[in-house]
Amino acid sequence: MVKKSILYIFIYTLLVGCNTQNPLINSGCETDCYLDIEAPSLQLDENGYYHIEWLEGYNQTFSTLDASTGSNFLVQKVYWNCDSGIEYGGEFVSCVNPASYTDNGVAHTVLAVWEEMIGDTITVYAGYYDDCSNEHKDIIKVIVIDNEI
């Protein structure tokens, strides 16, 4: 009985992700997946820009970013990128980690800024493909501020 229950849960999990219609039953693949990036620990202004405050005396200032996908049953790989970073040791280092996986429909990454970025507006991009091969993308903009100036 337990083996049958586990088998049913496994099959259900394979067939359901963001309420995807089963392509084996229906030739059209529909999904209600989405992507919504947020920075819950950063201040959001009236124009939709987040603000990260530079912490004086540190090499970097960090914040966590969340990407909600609506996929509560399947693990999704979310790709991250941004338009800013620094050169370190002859290599470009991005402000965000390049990939993360969802847990209960939410993926997390870390945004790291350096002092040289004070006054810059960073655009952070994220995206993933759902079970129907639809690409979902979102962006946020983060302004690096220094309240000491």
DSSP 104-134: TTEEEEEEEEEGGGTT-EEEEEEEEE-TT--
SS3 state at 2 = helix
Tell whether 129 is covered by a domain. yes
Domain of residue 138, residue span: 33-145
Single pTM value for the model? 0.80
Least confident of 21-35, 91-105, 134-148: 21-35
Q: Number of folded domains in the chain? A: 1
User: For residue 47, what is the domain's CATH number?
Assistant: 2.60.40.2550
Of 141, 114, 112, 110, the C-alpha closest to 125 is 141
- Phi, psi of 112, rounded to the nearest 5 degrees: -125, 130
> Where does the pLDDT of residue 74 fall: very low under 50, low under 70, confident under 90, or very high at 90 and above?
confident
Return the pLDDT at 19.
63
Segment 20-31 mean pLDDT = 58
Tell whether 16 is covered by a domain. no
- Phi, psi of 9, rounded to the nearest 5 degrees: -65, -45
CB atoms within 10 A of CB 115: 15
| pLDDT(24) > 70 | no
Tell whether 14 is covered by a domain. no
Least confident of 2-11, 57-66, 133-142: 2-11
Tell whether 85 is covered by a domain. yes
Tell whether 25 is covered by a domain. no
Q: What is the spatial distance between Cα 95 and Cα 103, in angstroms, rounded to a whole number?
A: 22
Tell whether 91 is covered by a domain. yes
Mean pLDDT of the chain, nearest integer: 85
Return the pLDDT at 31.
81
Distances (CA, A) of 62 to 81, 86, 87: 16, 15, 18
Tell whether 126 is covered by a domain. yes
Tell whether 122 is covered by a domain. yes
SS3 state at 75 = coil
